[in-house]
């Protein structure tokens, strides 16, 4: 039996120091080179084998071996920061909690290592780049990083609007999201002769109206809206012939986001035809809705209840996106779920001055450590 309280003071100090370093040395998506080196050194210092990549950032740690009948249990943390305007300056900024996620995942391994734990299988640690771009998980799937994993646990700090300090969720039911960027090309003309031109602002306005008319199953939350429109110049008497726009779409299920995507594509085509304009999409990206495994969720729930009490276990449904869910979407054999950790996070995720209660760092690390041990004791292999 592991005494998770043994050495708690030392563990808390190490986890806090880890968070402080990562917070002060934030790096944006696909540029997390120093973060990758730091994490590799920390994993190696804990005795884990490490894997890095020549074509992207991120690092994998491995501890133990898994035979045909043994489990491979993995923890995943995102590692990138946002590019954000903070106190009059643009800089990389950890306002989504990825610095905390890294510190807690490393902390969980630190707790298990110093307790003398030996896994009866393989523990895998995934430090994934580019979550904020929704691209990192797919890159690691492509590299085969998760092909041998039975259970996969992620973690994310939750804003105080969802959870206060001391509460946690064994699953985060994120919705799917989609970002679309496009161009509209019309015909320029004098403001006195609008019939000779094709006004791209009118085309964009028509697109907005049609987006507002989109209907999906009302039992599934979904939303779509134009979030950016740039058109015209300084002269107010010229019919503008070029515009750029962005659309944000969200739905609570993967089927709904696929349906929404089809309706948006049809609207774009119809708008161009209606006005005689050329409307083209230049970028489209989707993140997956949550795919939560009930067995993994139950194991994580037991660990939360064991540490915080049954009355402090709840669940989260959120329209926010998270590329963690690409792992079980692309590799359905993986039993996956995410820990949602209450930490009095204010004023909100992605706020340039986001703050949270640092005591939650150790709580998250211990929950993850307990869940690893519990999964090896009670888990069932995805390979049958």
| pLDDT tens sequence across 339-375 | 999 999 999 999 999 999 999 999 999 999 999 999 9
Can you list the alpha helix ranges (DSSP code H) found in 119-158? 136-142
Q: Would you tell me how many other CB atoms lie within 10 Å of the CB of residue 141?
A: 16
Contact 211, 271 (CB under 8 A): no
Mean pLDDT to the nearest integer, 233-248: 97
The pLDDT of residue 105: 98
For residues 297 and 176, what is the distance between their CA atoms, to the nearest angstrom? Answer: 20
Q: Which two tokens stand for residue 263?
A: 């309706």
Q: Which two tokens stand for residue 13?
A: 């100090």
Q: What is the pLDDT of residues 53-104, one digit of tens each?
A: 999 999 999 999 999 999 999 999 999 999 999 999 999 999 999 999 999 9
Q: What is the DSSP letter of 343?
A: E
Q: How far apart are alpha carbons 171 and 166 in whole angstroms?
A: 16
Residue 285 binned pLDDT confidence (cut-offs 50, 70, 90): confident
C-alpha angle 306-39-30 in degrees, rounded to nearest 5? 110
pTM to 2 decimal places: 0.91
Give 383's pLDDT tier (boundaries 50, 70, 90). Answer: low
Domain ranges of the chain: 8-174+290-378, 176-287
pLDDT the model gives residue 96: 97
Three-state DSSP state, 98: helix
Q: Is the model's pLDDT at 2 over the cut of 90?
A: no
Greater pLDDT, 6 or 140: 140
User: Using one digit for the tens of pLDDT, what is the confidence trace for 313-343?
Assistant: 999 999 888 999 999 999 999 999 999 999 9
The terminus-to-terminus CA distance of the chain in angstroms comes to: 27
Distance (Å, whole) CA 188 – CA 163: 52
- In this predicted structure, the answer to whether residue 6 has a pLDDT above a threshold of 90 is no
Other beta carbons within 10 angstroms of residue 278's beta carbon come to 13
| Burial class, 133, CB count within 10 angstroms (exposed 0-12 / middle 13-18 / buried 19+) | middle
Cβ burial, residue 158 (10 Å; 0-12/13-18/19+)? buried
pLDDT > 60? residue 384: no
Section 142-170 average pLDDT: 97
For residue 155, pLDDT over 70 is answered with: yes
- Predicted confidence at residue 1, as pLDDT, reads 67
Q: Work out the pLDDT band at 7, boundaries 50, 70, 90.
A: confident
- Quote the CA–CA distance of 66 and 69 in Å, as a whole number: 8
Angle at 223 between CA 221 and CA 226, to 5 degrees: 175
pLDDT band at 380 (very low <50, low <70, confident <90, very high): confident
- What are the CA-CA distances from residue 71 to residues 139, 147, 162, 324 (Å)? 24, 12, 33, 20
Name, in order, each residue with C-beta under 8 angstroms of 213's C-beta and a sequence gap of 6 or more.
Answer: none
Tell me the pLDDT of the chain averaged across its residues.
Answer: 96
Q: Which two tokens stand for residue 47?
A: 């005795």
> Two tokens at 357?
């209660």
> For the chain, what percent of residues have pLDDT higher than 70?
99
User: Helix %, strand %, coil % for the chain, to 5?
Assistant: 35, 30, 35
CATH number of 8-174+290-378: 3.40.630.10
| 167-216 per-position pLDDT tens digit | 999 999 999 999 999 999 999 999 999 999 999 999 999 999 999 999 99
176-287: CATH topology: Alpha-Beta Plaits (3.30.70)
pLDDT, residue 363, reads: 97
Q: What is the pLDDT of residue 84?
A: 98
Q: Pairing relation of β-strands 49-52 and 59-64?
A: antiparallel
**Owner of token pair 């934030």:** 26
Mention every residue, 6+ apart, whose C-beta is less than 8 A from residue 9: none
pLDDT tens-place string over residues 23-37: 999 999 999 999 999
């Amino acid at each position: 039996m592991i005494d998770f309280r043994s050495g708690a003071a030392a563990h808390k100090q190490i986890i806090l120091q880890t968070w402080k370093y990562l917070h002060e040395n934030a790096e944006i998506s696909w540029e997390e080179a120093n973060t990758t080196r730091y994490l590799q050194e920390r994993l190696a210092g804990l005795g884990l084998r490490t894997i890095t990549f020549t074509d992207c950032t991120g690092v994998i740690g491995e501890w133990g071996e898994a035979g045909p009948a043994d489990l491979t249990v993995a923890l995943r943390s995102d590692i990138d920061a946002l590019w954000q305007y903070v106190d009059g300056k643009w800089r990389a900024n950890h306002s989504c909690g990825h610095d905390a996620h890294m510190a807690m995942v490393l902390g969980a391994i630190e707790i298990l290592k110093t307790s003398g734990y030996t896994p009866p299988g393989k523990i895998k640690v995934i430090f994934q780049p580019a979550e904020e771009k929704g691209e990192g998980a797919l890159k690691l799937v492509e590299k085969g990083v998760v092909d041998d994993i039975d259970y996969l646990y992620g973690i994310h700090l939750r804003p105080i609007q969802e959870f206060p300090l001391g509460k946690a969720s064994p699953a985060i039911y994120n919705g799917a999201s989609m970002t679309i960027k496009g161009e509209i090309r019309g015909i320029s003309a004098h403001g006195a002769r609008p019939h000779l031109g094709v006004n791209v602002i009118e085309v964009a306005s028509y697109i907005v109206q049609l987006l507002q008319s989109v209907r999906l199953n009302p039992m599934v939350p979904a939303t779509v809206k134009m979030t950016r429109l740039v058109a015209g110049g300084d002269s107010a008497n010229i019919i503008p012939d070029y515009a750029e726009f962005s659309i944000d779409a969200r739905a609570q299920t993967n089927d709904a986001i696929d349906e929404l995507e089809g309706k948006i594509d049809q609207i774009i085509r119809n708008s161009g035809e209606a006005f005689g304009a050329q409307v083209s999409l230049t970028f489209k990206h989707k993140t997956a809705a949550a795919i939560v495994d009930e067995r993994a969720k139950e194991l994580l729930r037991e660990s939360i209840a064991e540490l915080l009490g049954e009355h402090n276990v709840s669940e989260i449904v959120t329209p926010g996106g998270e590329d963690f869910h690409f792992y079980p979407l692309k590799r359905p054999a993986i039993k996956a779920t995410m820990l949602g950790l209450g930490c009095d996070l204010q004023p909100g995720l992605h706020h340039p001055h986001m703050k949270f209660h640092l005591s939650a760092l150790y709580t998250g690390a211990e929950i993850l450590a307990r869940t690893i041990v519990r999964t090896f004791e009670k888990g069932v292999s995805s390979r049958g």
